[in-house]
Amino acid sequence: MANLLNYDASQLLAFILVVIRISGIVATAPIFGDANIPSQIKIVIILGFSLIIYPFVPPFSIPLDNVSYYLLLVAGELLIGLVLGMVGQLLFAAVQLAGEMAGLQMGLGMANVMDPQSQQQVSIVAQIEYAFAALIFLAMDAHHVVINAMVHSYTILTPGSVELGAKLTQEIITLSAGVFVLGFQLGAPLIIALFVANIIMGFMARAVPQMNIFVVGFPFSILLGFVMLSAGIPFFIHALRILFELFDNQIVTVLNLLKQP
């Protein structure tokens, strides 16, 4: 009969490293890291993926007598997971930025709601566009890219091989800056239409001073905003499809840069 107390300490420590990397990805990746998902469910997802992936992880040695080195491995695995998850989260940040700008232009800045993801007040339009983006993300099976990144990351980055170089920093800065560009591109039709409408109402206020432009302009901006939001759904979906199709390539690029100094 096997003795259950006999186990290999190095295998246990290696499994913990796998759990750390998967935890970082699940904590920050789109959909998986959503605050609406209970922590208990996330723990089950992390342990389930870790048990499935661990047998396929290339073997690597862990010195049992070097605690400081093992802590560095833990920090490196956590960094890998957080960076990989952040790549997808930046795409959703662009969607929320587009909704924030559109909601502000519509005059809905005072009608914000609490976002459980960020624990902050966000625009209703941003929440609507975020929900659309999440549905499209799942419909395109883009969440499979996250799962694939968990497995594929071990073929490129074994524990202890992560390197923080200038190229990685530049790529993260580029992706972060792209949030503002993508956010404006996604919200451009609605933002431009409302901007033109505000200019027209400004001319009307100058041409007809007797008309209370604030009473007319506020509901008109909201109505025009929702009309443009409804009419722009096909464009919004098409733009998100293009955006999420680049997700896989961005993951691979970041993985390669994590290995290069």
Query: pTM (2 decimals)?
Result: 0.77
Nearest to 153 by CA among 61, 73, 57, 44: 57
**What are the residue boundaries of the structural domains of the chain, listed by start?**
9-259
183-229 tens-digit pLDDT: 888 888 888 888 887 787 777 777 777 767 666 667 777 787 778 87
Q: How far apart are CA 9 and CA 11, in angstroms?
A: 5
In this predicted structure, what is the pLDDT of residue 13?
A: 82
In this predicted structure, what is the pLDDT of residue 4?
A: 41
Q: Per-block average pLDDT, block size 10, for the chain (261 residues)?
A: 53 85 88 81 89 82 76 86 85 84 72 58 76 85 83 80 74 81 81 80 74 71 79 82 81 76 56
Nearest to 146 by CA among 52, 257, 28: 28
Q: How far apart are CA 101 and CA 111, in angstroms?
A: 14
